[in-house]
Every structure is written in structure tokens, then in C-alpha cells.
Amino acid sequence: MFDNYVLSDNSLKNVKKDGKTVGYEMRTRITYYRGIPLSMVHDILVEVDDQPVPRENIRFSLDGELYFTLDEMATVTFYKWEYGQEGIIFVEQEGGLSEGEHKVKLTQVTRVAYIPVPFSGTQTKTMAV
């Protein structure tokens, strides 16, 4: 349904900090039709080349400056993820991903007041680093 918004095309890349590759990131739009405070993002799951990424290595950012862990996000009500806005999913991993293609699966789960169970969107894409 909204799954086509989960992974932005060609958005997978390694992230360098002070000359060292500290991880990788991808971009995602909300799989809902309106913006919500970050606390309503119930969960984010990442799999790369069929391997699940540990939850504590995942960070989320709206602006590329401020990053939240998933546990922190549960209380973030001040910042809103706007509809259509590309959020950044950063995965902390020394050395990042090897050059070439990787199969990435991203799942977003949000809470919606009028749907009794959290609502998820998933997309798998092969993207090159």
C-alpha cells in the first residue's frame, strides 16, 4: 500500500566521520499519509543481505544533524516526521558496507490512533554502495 515510500532509490551510502567510515545510511519516507511526532514511530527494522541489524546500532534523523536511538525516539514528541519528508536511517558499523550491491530490507512500524495494531510498511531493494 504505502510500501513504495519505504526506501528512497539510490539512497544507500557509507558514512564517514573524521576520515573513518563509521556506518551506512539510507533514506525513507513515512508509510502513512500524514506527519507524526517521532514517538509514534513504533519500530524500525533493518536487514542487510538477509542479516538483521542489531536494534541498538540503528539511529534515526530528520535533518542529518540530530540523531536518536530507537529507545530515545519513544519519548521524542517535540520533533515531527513530516509527510513526504525523507528521514535518514543510520546504522553504526565500523567500516560500513563493502563496495557493490547489497540487498536492503527496511520495515517501519507506526502507531495510528484508529487502527488497533501498529501499522507497518516494508520494502526490499538492491542498492549499490
Q: Up-side HSE of residue 56: CA atoms within 13 Å toward CB?
A: 0
Choose which of 15, 22, 45, 112 interacts with other proteins (CB under 8 A).
112
Q: Which is nearer to other proteins, 24 or 105 (CB)?
A: 105
Q: Which is nearer to other proteins, 6 or 97 (CB)?
A: 6
Least CB distance from residue 113 to other proteins, whole Å?
Answer: 5
Which of positions 43-102 make contact with other proteins (CB under 8 A)? Answer: 74-75, 77, 80, 82-84
The closest alpha carbon to 40, from 92, 107, 110, 122, belongs to 110
SS3 6: coil
Least CB distance from residue 93 to other proteins, whole Å?
Answer: 26
Q: Which is nearer to other proteins, 15 or 112 (CB)?
A: 112
**Is residue 2 near other proteins by the rule CB under 8 A?**
yes
How many binding residues for other proteins (CB under 8 A)? Answer: 24
CB 70 within 8 A of CB 96: no
Distance CA 38, CA 61 (A): 10
Distance CA 30, CA 110 (A): 9
The closest alpha carbon to 24, from 113, 123, 106, 114, belongs to 106
What is the binding site for other proteins (CB under 8 A)?
A: 1-2, 4-5, 29, 33-37, 39-40, 42, 74-75, 77, 80, 82-84, 111-114
